[in-house]
Structure 1
Amino acid sequence: MASANLNVMIKAARAAGRSLVKDFREVENLQVSSKGPGDFVSRADLEAERIVREILTKERPNYGWLGEESDPVPGKDPTRRWIVDPLDGTTNYLHGLPHWAVSIALEHKGEIVAGVVFDAAKDELYVAEKGQGAFMNETRLRVSGRHKMIECIFATGLPFGGSRQLPRSLKDLGRILPATAGVRRFGAAALDLAYVAAGRYDGFWERGIYPWDMAAGLILVREAGGLVAPIVEGESILESGHVIATNAAIFETFAQVVRAE
């Protein structure tokens, strides 16, 4: 049975998801307009955050807040904070691609203890709580059982524009592609991690991503039996932004390849 906190998170994610789905239909129409969809998507993103924040703040007024679209807020309860991305996969949304999600995590004393990732376009709700397992629409999730790298597919995010992470990411691909069955780049880290939890991907790695992009996904992977770790051993995943997530069987091999700079 879900905790009261998780129920609040699900309520907020579903409400924001409904708003985003409604606006998503309009985004597709805006593709052909001279104005373009950029401003519209920004409004949809901000409205989704407003909905999430309103619900979470009403139900848990003392918790802190860390979100993509607004300044962080320390809570009266210093041990708990929400970590929220109201629209992970904004560029997909902007282009009318139905691969984006609402991501909400709860952190307690520096540890992620609950997470919700809602893929509203596909009506897939991923949830996890510490010690309670991970689920997608009531179905329990387990990471994949593959143990040979050459049979595995991995997900990652690739930098755009002039990102300083680009050279390193290209080197990563040069090492990883020859050793695997393939790499996917779908453009939404929260869903990449949810797919690892569901066994759709065998693993995920990325450098330089924000806490709100991955916080909920990290507990999904852990509660589905997977392992998550920083790329640089000893660093904090959320603070460094560099993460590896896989099933246990291939973790050591995969981590060695990613870390071999």
Structure 2
Amino acid sequence: MERIKNVGIAAASKGGKILRDHYGRLRSVRKKGTIDLVTDADVQSEAAIIETITKAFPDHAILAEESGDHQGRGGRWIIDPLDGTTNFAHGLRQFCVSIAFASDDEILVGIVLAPLLDELFIGIRGQGAALNGTPIAVSSTRTLVDSLLVTGFPYDHHTIFDALMRRFSDCLKATQGVRRLGAAALDLCYVASGRFDGFWEQHLNPWDTAAGYVLASEAGARTTDFSNAPYSIFEKEIVCTNGIIHDELIHLLEHKD
């Protein structure tokens, strides 16, 4: 795991440098969907990350947002070279590189680097989670009314708009507030570090949540789907909390469709 972690950090650092170099100087912004953007920075960051990983582990499989599935054996890397592309394209600093490593479908390592915020989150299965080398843990907030939550809106939000707004409205009324930062990997890291008490979102992809999921788990978080069933990165619903408010939040989220 030490070598996996070190290679992952090196890959994230190279991807993060590319994002820093492109920030505020974009030459090309394209659309994968109506509001789903991709930039040259996404593509170049992903290429640098994959090159770093394959140089160290040429047999490993890779699942990456922009280039898709690269077959292999012995382990699988799950990569988002730029989570928060819309923020990045609009000059907002809430974006990151997200890299996870899995073996036999179990996520073992999560690395999330926010290059312009100078924050490196690392989680290793069974070894805890840390921010810039300092251990982190979820909050101790005991009730939903005292909680600060974070959520996200999927690119295809028009397909679930009514249910999305019902959940958002119910959570806003029941808590101290709800934020929407635009980068799911950071949302999960912020639950892991106690900045938020809970997070929920729909229609995410494995590269959005894989690294943040293991980080949050190692920091003491509880993660399920909206029906309180065990979470998988291939599920389309995620609820991640400090554990204490989980059942209360689930009650607000379930059966809104």
How does the TM-score come out when normalised to structure 2?
Answer: 0.92
Please, which of 145, 149, 158 is the counterpart of residue 153 of structure 2?
Answer: 158
Segments of structure 2 that go 5 or more residues without pairing to the other structure are: 31-36
Q: Is the 8 A contact 1:210 1:238 kept in 2?
A: yes
Please, which of 194, 198, 204 is the counterpart of residue 193 of structure 2?
Answer: 198
Please, which of 108, 114, 117 is the counterpart of residue 112 of structure 2?
Answer: 117
SS at match of 2:44: helix
Q: Does 1:173 align with 2:168?
A: yes
In structure 2, the partner of 1:34 is none
Aligned length: 250
Deviation for aligned residue 1:149: 0.6
SS at match of 2:63: strand
Q: CA RMSD in A?
A: 1.7
Moved runs in structure 1, 4+ residues, more than 3 A?
159-163, 232-236
Superposed counterparts of 1:44-59, under 5 Å: 44-59=41-56
Q: Does 1:137 align with 2:132?
A: yes
Deviation for aligned residue 1:159: 3.3
Q: Is the 8 A contact 2:227 2:250 kept in 1?
A: no
**Partner amino acid, structure 2, of 1:166:** F
**Partner amino acid, structure 2, of 1:56:** I
Please, which of 10, 33, 38 is the counterpart of residue 29 of structure 2?
Answer: 38
In structure 1, the partner of 2:251 is 256
Deviation for aligned residue 1:120: 0.3
**Partner amino acid, structure 1, of 2:45:** A
Structure with the larger helix share: 1
In structure 2, the partner of 1:33 is none
**Partner amino acid, structure 2, of 1:174:** S
**Partner amino acid, structure 2, of 1:5:** I
Superposed counterparts of 1:95-110, under 5 Å: 95-110=90-105
**Structure 1 CA distance, aligned partners of 2:62 and 2:150?**
28
SS at match of 1:82: strand
Deviation for aligned residue 1:162: 5.6
Deviation for aligned residue 1:212: 0.3
In structure 1, the partner of 2:68 is 71
SS at match of 1:112: strand
Deviation for aligned residue 1:174: 2.2
Distance 1:137 1:235, change over 3 A: closer
**Structure 1 CA distance, aligned partners of 2:56 and 2:116?**
26
SS at match of 1:249: coil
Q: Does 1:227 align with 2:218?
A: no
Distance 1:159 1:166, change over 3 A: farther
Identity of aligned residues (%): 37
**Partner amino acid, structure 2, of 1:167:** D
Deviation for aligned residue 1:160: 4.6
**Structure 1 CA distance, aligned partners of 2:229 and 2:115?**
36
Distance 1:224 1:54, change over 3 A: same
Q: Is the 8 A contact 1:193 1:204 kept in 2?
A: yes
**Partner amino acid, structure 1, of 2:46:** E
**Partner amino acid, structure 1, of 2:29:** G
In structure 1, the partner of 2:10 is 11
Deviation for aligned residue 1:195: 0.4
The worse-fitting range, judged by mean Cα deviation, of 68-77 and 104-113 is 68-77
How does the TM-score come out when normalised to structure 1?
Answer: 0.91
SS at match of 1:83: strand
Distance 1:161 1:229, change over 3 A: closer
